[in-house]
Structure 1
Amino acid sequence: MSVQRVLSVEPDGVEETWDIEVQDSHSFVSDGLISHNCSGFMSAIESVIRGQKPHRRWATGAFSGKTAPPGWVYHGDSPFRIGITNAGVGHTAGTIAKTNVESRGGAGVVVGSRARGYNDGLFGSWYGFQPGKYDSGGYIPPGLNLVYNGTGRPEPVFTTQQANALMSGAAQGPAQPVVVELHAKEGALGDFIDVRVQDHQQQLISVINAS
């Protein structure tokens, strides 16, 4: 079996076609080879990164210029990048770190040097997967999101400026006393209670002086 380059494509009308895939796995056997829809394969990888079961999320037609499905950024810096072409029936393949991943007709799922990468000449544009950016701070959701948060709850991410502000505030020492006046009705506590609350060395000290 050899691979031949397509020399030309000529329009021949519009006909009904089918997108063959198996539910959940999206794979199928073609002439003895396990095949997979190219976009189904790439979007299934995205689903796994998001901590979900692998499933189809989009097709190549969802990418056009700077328009892309949620989480994908045109020429975005990411360890997972995909190339896109919408010429003809369209195609996509990707690169995870330095490993190429692709599903193509005739060869099925291909991983490694035989697979096209995101920057293959076939593709007219490429996109990086950036599900969460923390350039302005934010919260890392639980689970695997290109970073792993195993606490089971959202965790804050601080920018350098935000972290410096917190450290600077802590270095300034105890906060100024907060004075709260409570006026009670007649009773054992007297006419009023003057409550002074002071924060010293991160311990709460309450001083109650009754007149």
Structure 2
Amino acid sequence: MRILLAEDDAMIGEVVLDALRAEGWAVDWVKDGAMAATALATGAYDLLLLDLGLPRQDGLTVLRALRADAGNANRRVPVLVATARDAVAERVAGLDAGADDYIVKPYDLDELLARVRALRRRADGRAEPEYAWGAVRVRPATREVTLAGRPVTLSAREWAVLEPLIARPGRVLSRQQLEEKLYSWRDDVSSNAVEVYIHGVRRKLGAGLIENQRGLGYRVPK
């Protein structure tokens, strides 16, 4: 999963960035609303974590513009608003502007991560906290993976490749789409990285789990 973090507080941003990356997610961090708008217009994201009190362009303006832009590929991306504005009117304004969930600062990191996972399940059309394919079971909340009941250890990037594919069996993701979930702006991307991590997943969980779709990408079969 690739997340855009829009947060102008350096201390909060560093802590949240580390927490999100520790979950194996790729994160791009911007520190003002204008940069957030540019990132949303040019990148592909699975979730936006948005502070309302951003400089240059406030978070509500960014959110309203995003939801109104029919040509933006991120228009329907789940948005978790995180802000110190705890008045009911502020929460209502954020939700009415198109936010999917709301968390008030100072917040507990475990709660933040749980809300991120819940938004991704909702976006994928799933309510259950576990994904399954044959004898493979995946629990995103704990990053536990089992094969026929036996625990399997995946690297952070093997996990990052597997999770979006198994979350929606049958959906094809291109190599570029998978790279976007693996790497943030500051990461170097090797030309065969996706193939290497998919090979690792297949070796640990079975060759049939991830299929090649010639000229298109990869999928977990239904």
TM-score normalised to the size of structure 2? 0.25
Q: Whose strand fraction is larger, Structure 1's or Structure 2's?
A: 1
TM-score (norm 1): 0.26
**Max Rg structure:** 1
Identify which of structures 1 and 2 has the higher relative contact order when contacts are C-alpha pairs closer than 8 Å and 6+ apart.
2
